[in-house]
Structure 1
């Protein structure tokens, strides 16, 4: 495994960095205040091939992988987007692109992947439920077979991007939990239309990530043709794990870029700000040391995430690496944003200095898409061999 960038990867980073200059901090501040999706940026990413990086060339993609996707996300977040950008890549390139590419039928691949790669189709995923939370195996949304269709009923919560989605990856039980031999059996994945009258959405008023709306979703007698089932009925849990590991890698890439952005804003401010004497506050070790530590921690997380992405691209187990990288990046990115706000003092609380948006948005990722506590559970059980604690 070699972490030295190939010439193609370096060109990719350089090109997306140039594009991102047109969508910097001011752009994201404006979109945040208006609670608007970043349609202009998303359209340009699609036109330039960045949304189809991990989609095979035969379906309109670049035929690259998760490694290249992480690099693009790092550059976009560092240029001003912050952690919200990682959410956007989760929704369509991962929930739509990765899932269908790995487990969809040939017809599904030909129908959806070219549209995802070009930016002409957006996805969201409906997994989380009010009474299940992190315990996804407890979902009760149920798809009942009815000849060539399924009739689906249930409720989902914290479904991001449903308002701008053309399709939804819907996770439901096709066999009730008390009727299966293994609790991971009986879960199925469907591609559904979120604009169907059987689906109603209620926006959630939340702290940050205002460019991506989140909703409670109600599903009542949704009729879905069997052709919209992904893979084999009842085997969706194994498919979902591939999607969720990719989600963690994408999230971590966004957190690394966000942490670096927060440190850059703090450093730029500390180089100029003078208090009490004619020396910039950046000369004080009390300012330097926390920023230096966070920079080092981000570098470690980045290397682990590159390893996770490389393993993913080789179709090798990557759960431990993806979870470890996400744990460190989530904590460090938030601490970096918090320290940057502290460095700026009162100015850090002002929107014109940008860090308050970054601070609000990045706090989410200590909780989502997987909480720190659930990551620690995973490491304790799978890496240390300790008894399951939950």
Structure 2
């Protein structure tokens, strides 16, 4: 098992960090205050070819893998963006890129993937529903047959960056639960236009990740064309898992980068601050030990995430590793941001320290895109062989 990065991977990581540095912490603080989409940053990412790193070369991508994508997200996050950086890659290279490249038609690939790589279009995914929550098999949004296409009706909740997306990956039932033998049957994926008659959305005010909106979405007799089906009609559940599990990888990478950034800010402040004599406060074990513990936990999440990404790239199962890495990362970064703020004392609570934004943003990922409790259920059932509890 070789843990060394190739020279090309090191170059990719360095490029990502340098792009992130060009914008820096002040840029992200301003975007957060304005609740503004980081358009300039994303255009720079796309201009450097990083958005398409894991997409096929014939559609404008770099033909690399999920490991390289994780390195990019991690370094962009560590250079200033924090954990919300992972969401930028979630909505575009994952929801759009992975889904289309694996299950889209050839026409869909040729039309949409080059525009994703260049940053010409953005994506979002409409999966979560208020009454289903983590139980995606209980979705109520339904696509009825309508001639050669479908009519979509229903509601979605907590849908990221709808207001800056041109395309929406919608997961809906095309067969009712009572009409299928297994609950995993009867789900389908569609890639539709956000600007479409019958589709409306409203933003939800929230405490963190404010550079990317979260919206309630409503479908009222929305027409879906036959060519907008992604993958297998009624058989979308297993195909959706490739999207959801790779979503975990970029989420974890964003968290790991945010943890690195929080610790770096805390250590720099603590090394400089002297209160009791000539020693910096960082010399005291009360400051050192919590930060050292967080560092160890973040490194564990990083390595497990690399394993998940590498296994995806060679076609091996990766869901267990992706879920466990996300669990550890979310907890580790919650601890890292909290303890980093504590190390800085009152200044950790000031917006100028940037830590309060990292702290607010990271809190989301204790329950999104999958909650800690559902990950623990997954590990218990699939990895330990224990009975289902729900």
Of residues 29-38 and 188-197 in structure 1, the stretch that sits farther from structure 2 once superposed is 188-197
Partner residue, 1:228: 228
Alpha-carbon distance in 2 for matches of 1:90, 1:130 = 21
- Would the aligned equivalents of 1:91 and 1:122 in 2 still touch at CA under 8 Å? yes
Partner residue, 1:54: 54
Alpha-carbon distance in 1 for matches of 2:128, 2:19 = 34
What per-residue deviation string (whole Å, max 9, x for no partner) do you get for residues 255-314 of structure 1? 100011111111001001112322110000010011011111111111110000000011
What per-residue deviation string (whole Å, max 9, x for no partner) do you get for residues 26-61 of structure 1? 000000001000000111111110000111000000
Partner residue, 2:283: 283
Partner residue, 1:184: 184
Matches of residues 3-152 of structure 1 in structure 2 within 5 Å? Answer: 3-152=3-152
Specify the SS of the correspondent of 2:131.
coil
Offset at residue 119 of structure 1 (A): 1.0
Of residues 270-279 and 46-55 in structure 1, the stretch that sits farther from structure 2 once superposed is 270-279
Partner residue, 2:348: 348
Alpha-carbon distance in 1 for matches of 2:144, 2:2 = 48
Offset at residue 105 of structure 1 (A): 0.9
Partner residue, 1:371: 371
Alpha-carbon distance in 1 for matches of 2:2, 2:122 = 33
What per-residue deviation string (whole Å, max 9, x for no partner) do you get for residues 307-361 of structure 1? 0000001111001100111110000011100001111111111100110001000
Specify the SS of the correspondent of 1:201.
strand
Task: Please state if 1:194 is matched with 2:201.
Answer: no
Gaps of at least 5 residues in structure 1 are none
Count of matched residue positions in the alignment of Structure 1 and Structure 2: 390
What TM-score do you get using the length of structure 2 for normalisation?
A: 0.99
Offset at residue 122 of structure 1 (A): 0.4
Large movers: runs of 4+ above 2 Å? none
- Would the aligned equivalents of 1:31 and 1:38 in 2 still touch at CA under 8 Å? yes
Offset at residue 11 of structure 1 (A): 1.1
Of residues 92-101 and 1-10 in structure 1, the stretch that sits farther from structure 2 once superposed is 1-10
Alpha-carbon distance in 1 for matches of 2:314, 2:265 = 36
Task: Please state if 1:256 is matched with 2:260.
Answer: no
Alpha-carbon distance in 1 for matches of 2:341, 2:94 = 32
What TM-score do you get using the length of structure 1 for normalisation?
A: 0.99
Gaps of at least 5 residues in structure 2 are none
Matches of residues 150-229 of structure 1 in structure 2 within 5 Å? Answer: 150-229=150-229
Alpha-carbon distance in 2 for matches of 1:235, 1:257 = 36
Specify the SS of the correspondent of 1:192.
strand
- Would the aligned equivalents of 1:3 and 1:306 in 2 still touch at CA under 8 Å? no
